[in-house]
Structure 1
């Protein structure tokens, strides 16, 4: 008989925790997982999945405006925010059920309570019950960071925006990262007046400067207002129910809703990590080694709570690698090079590998190949928006260092390009590949 109640106890049933739990169970471990809110975590419940569905809903507004040029006659048009919101949240419910069934089918016990660390091999549930486990995995993710200014309680984060009673006529988005840009694009396309407030003159810092500049130009052309070098000083709710925003200027700005999208912090507060001597970093992130082990030998962590790469596919891979290493007899680590990422703005942008600036700083001599073109699909649009693809190549070896793009369906195209970078291919390999015509993707093999 084991001296512990479980071989593995997972705190947090998000993407990383669920993958780790089910793979560990498939290796023969006795596993339990605790979740204080809903199974599925940030991505499924309040992140990339419902957000992408809102993107699709908002994109339809533009497609609908092009209907006559496609030969379609459309009657009176109107948009119902509640209908889209409820459909999206209904599908979130469906996905949550599937996640629960996945755990059940792998004999993972789901405990719908908050769990905290009580010791190196002990967790304490909100009900007061204590459970022991040979190994503990922390996969609680991250939480929206909220600034400190008078009236911040009147603002919302990306957690709440999926549940708004009404679509805001005038929305202020605070932040310059991908969450801010995506929601700005969504509500702009749905007809809201959108203002983005950013404390610096840089947005999307991790993406290629030229691609971001193109996105910014297009976004402004679509009516999104950007206020750079600005910060909210205070917010007050008026008698009419509007929000009056002080940006440190002579006139206050009136809006219906303020979305704070200034990043996400590891959700380690109150987790009891000090009871097991788990070391934290400056941002409250759990420090782990290459095998996801913390400073406490029996406790591991994966996903956003470690603040390595805050992306769902990365958390899933980390959770899988943990399970294989600890219970599968196959110790392995994750390679964090060439991770593709995207911003589902309108149009979307995507990138993998080094930006031009990073490549020049690291490699010195590089060549940049590009294609600046108007996608065929955009001919139906009154906006003269152009796509831009870039390939950064090491001048000596010809090896591709990075690929970056903006234009319709860029994330779908980039996924295959990421495989090429991972495989270490050269520009010649692209040049030797026959183009698929007519397509936007063919620009990748025609770059000059």
Structure 2
């Protein structure tokens, strides 16, 4: 059978674009369809704009620290309009880069929604249909609101980047990395931030000591963090709500009247009023905005996947094997839509492995072991390998850990602390996990990840000469374990 294309990719995010252009560069005839903006979650409404917002928010603490070092600085007002305009200009530039990468690689791109009509046929929202020998689904995921009355009054992470102006107060619901990162961002930009998380500690699944230090630091910076707490009810704030609870909301703490969400979100479903929230701890408050960071689901709805025989999991994910192949041999999937490891570099690696397997005759399973990760809280967290809690369930381990005020903070008499931690196997001496909470932890963990991926032992770390004076030298100077488990 003759096909229109060797490969048809559905989804123009980082993983899909990489797979499409690499396959095309190798001689395959490739097409790609994207219904929204090229670049996907990471470039348009995720990692990139979020990191730029982190940079913006970190300037808030500059004058205080600078004064300790002899500089007479003062902080002016933050101009959200100016920043967001520059941000959107940068995102437009990056989207154009992605479009050009496809064009220059010889990929036919379609600005349309795609769905499957059989194992080899893609139908576009424009009415056109194409056949392909292989189909790759790389449609990513989307943030979800909780299933509760009036949940539409709250925004999700996609909405943050569309704000016309910043609210004076916000309630963030959730305790994962998205919730904690935006708590730090909005707090740094001058928003009064309250955070509810139903669990006992934020950042579930990460090392206990590391996430504990981050929680303490967040509270020291003024984030009103409530653990073991969730929303019980929410509704548009009536005049009675505003009057009776104006003294308990975060705006009151600023000495400002309760604001409104009017004009915050173009096209938002809310009423343009502040939101009244009753928590499971019995408290009632009014907030300018509520932000749900309560999870993400794969984008598989109304794509014809199940109709053509593709197995779909409980969260809506496409079930794939180690080669990213679905239950239909001609259909593959990579990235967040598979709900494996929802990280942009992982999607890119999965895309490369797919091309090696399908087009280069080199079956390449995806390697999801020992992936370095950065969480852009303030301070940052960098982590690779197992947490102490995870490791000690598998084998006897030694724990090397230190926490201290780094030189820059100590000189300025600021309370900020950092943490460096190694989890080491007693039997093999291999470093099973490395965890850092410090400014620039994301940069540092990339290099530590290389050593740990190579199987470095604690003695390999010990043999490495320290770079002094740095925070990171502690990674190679911790000689005695603080405990065994």
- Structure 2 residue 414 is the aligned partner of structure 1 residue 392: no
Q: Equivalent residue of 2:393, what SS?
A: helix
Report the equivalent of 1:302: 334
Change (3 A) 1:382 1:262: farther
Instruction: Work out the CA distance in 2 between the residues paired with 1:433 and 1:79.
Output: 44
The structural deviation recorded for 1:85 is: 1.7
Q: Within 5 Å, which residues of 2 pair with 1:19-98?
A: 19-75=18-74, 77-98=76-97
Report the equivalent of 1:383: 414
Q: How many residues align?
A: 446
- Structure 2 residue 461 is the aligned partner of structure 1 residue 430: yes
Q: What residue ranges of structure 2 are gaps of 5+ in the alignment?
A: 239-259, 261-272, 480-485
Query: Does the Cα contact within 8 Å between 1:152 and 1:234 map onto a contact in 2?
Result: no
Query: Does the Cα contact within 8 Å between 1:23 and 1:324 map onto a contact in 2?
Result: no
Report the equivalent of 1:318: 350
The structural deviation recorded for 1:231 is: 2.0
Report the equivalent of 2:167: 168
Report the equivalent of 2:219: 220
Map Cα deviations across residues 166-200 of structure 1 (whole Å, 9 max, x no partner): 11111111111000000000011111111111122
Query: Does the Cα contact within 8 Å between 1:400 and 1:425 map onto a contact in 2?
Result: yes
Q: Equivalent residue of 1:217, what SS?
A: helix
Report the equivalent of 2:268: none
Q: Equivalent residue of 2:18, what SS?
A: helix
Instruction: After the TM superposition, list the runs of 4 or more consecutive aligned residues in structure 1 that deviate by more than 6 angstroms.
Output: none
Report the equivalent of 2:254: none
The structural deviation recorded for 1:282 is: 1.1
Query: Does the Cα contact within 8 Å between 2:237 and 2:286 map onto a contact in 1?
Result: no
Map Cα deviations across residues 248-282 of structure 1 (whole Å, 9 max, x no partner): 45542111111110111111111110231000111
Map Cα deviations across residues 282-307 of structure 1 (whole Å, 9 max, x no partner): 11110001111100010000000000
- Structure 2 residue 338 is the aligned partner of structure 1 residue 339: no
Instruction: Work out the CA distance in 2 between the residues paired with 1:418 and 1:144.
Output: 29
Counterpart selection for 1:420 from 422, 440, 451: 451
Counterpart selection for 1:260 from 282, 287, 292: 292
Task: Tell which deviates more after alignment, 196-205 or 171-180.
Answer: 196-205
Query: Does the Cα contact within 8 Å between 1:11 and 1:115 map onto a contact in 2?
Result: yes
Query: Does the Cα contact within 8 Å between 1:375 and 1:440 map onto a contact in 2?
Result: yes
Query: Does the Cα contact within 8 Å between 2:229 and 2:281 map onto a contact in 1?
Result: no
The structural deviation recorded for 1:202 is: 2.7
**TM superposition score normalised by structure 1:** 0.97
Instruction: Work out the CA distance in 2 between the residues paired with 1:249 and 1:367.
Output: 39
The structural deviation recorded for 1:69 is: 2.2
The structural deviation recorded for 1:75 is: 4.7
Task: Tell which deviates more after alignment, 46-55 or 87-96.
Answer: 87-96
Report the equivalent of 2:442: 411
**TM superposition score normalised by structure 2:** 0.90
Report the equivalent of 1:198: 197
The structural deviation recorded for 1:59 is: 0.6
Instruction: Work out the CA distance in 2 between the residues paired with 1:295 and 1:138.
Output: 13
Query: Does the Cα contact within 8 Å between 1:368 and 1:391 map onto a contact in 2?
Result: yes
Q: Equivalent residue of 2:450, what SS?
A: helix
Instruction: Work out the CA distance in 1 between the residues paired with 2:453 and 2:138.
Output: 27
Instruction: Work out the CA distance in 1 between the residues paired with 2:13 and 2:372.
Output: 21
Query: Does the Cα contact within 8 Å between 1:348 and 1:408 map onto a contact in 2?
Result: yes
Q: Equivalent residue of 1:233, what SS?
A: strand
The structural deviation recorded for 1:229 is: 2.1
The structural deviation recorded for 1:367 is: 0.5
Q: Equivalent residue of 1:429, what SS?
A: helix
Map Cα deviations across residues 320-357 of structure 1 (whole Å, 9 max, x no partner): 11012111222211211110112100001111101101
Query: Does the Cα contact within 8 Å between 2:63 and 2:74 map onto a contact in 1?
Result: no
Task: Tell which deviates more after alignment, 82-91 or 11-20.
Answer: 82-91
Query: Does the Cα contact within 8 Å between 1:40 and 1:99 map onto a contact in 2?
Result: yes
Instruction: Work out the CA distance in 1 between the residues paired with 2:14 and 2:282.
Output: 46
The structural deviation recorded for 1:382 is: 4.5
The structural deviation recorded for 1:371 is: 1.9
Q: What residue ranges of structure 1 are gaps of 5+ in the alignment?
A: none
- Structure 2 residue 119 is the aligned partner of structure 1 residue 120: yes
Query: Does the Cα contact within 8 Å between 2:69 and 2:412 map onto a contact in 1?
Result: no
Instruction: Work out the CA distance in 2 between the residues paired with 1:344 and 1:76.
Output: 23
Map Cα deviations across residues 193-251 of structure 1 (whole Å, 9 max, x no partner): 11111122132112100111111111111111112222223322235621111224554
Q: Equivalent residue of 2:147, what SS?
A: coil
Q: Equivalent residue of 2:116, what SS?
A: strand
The structural deviation recorded for 1:145 is: 1.6
Report the equivalent of 1:374: 405
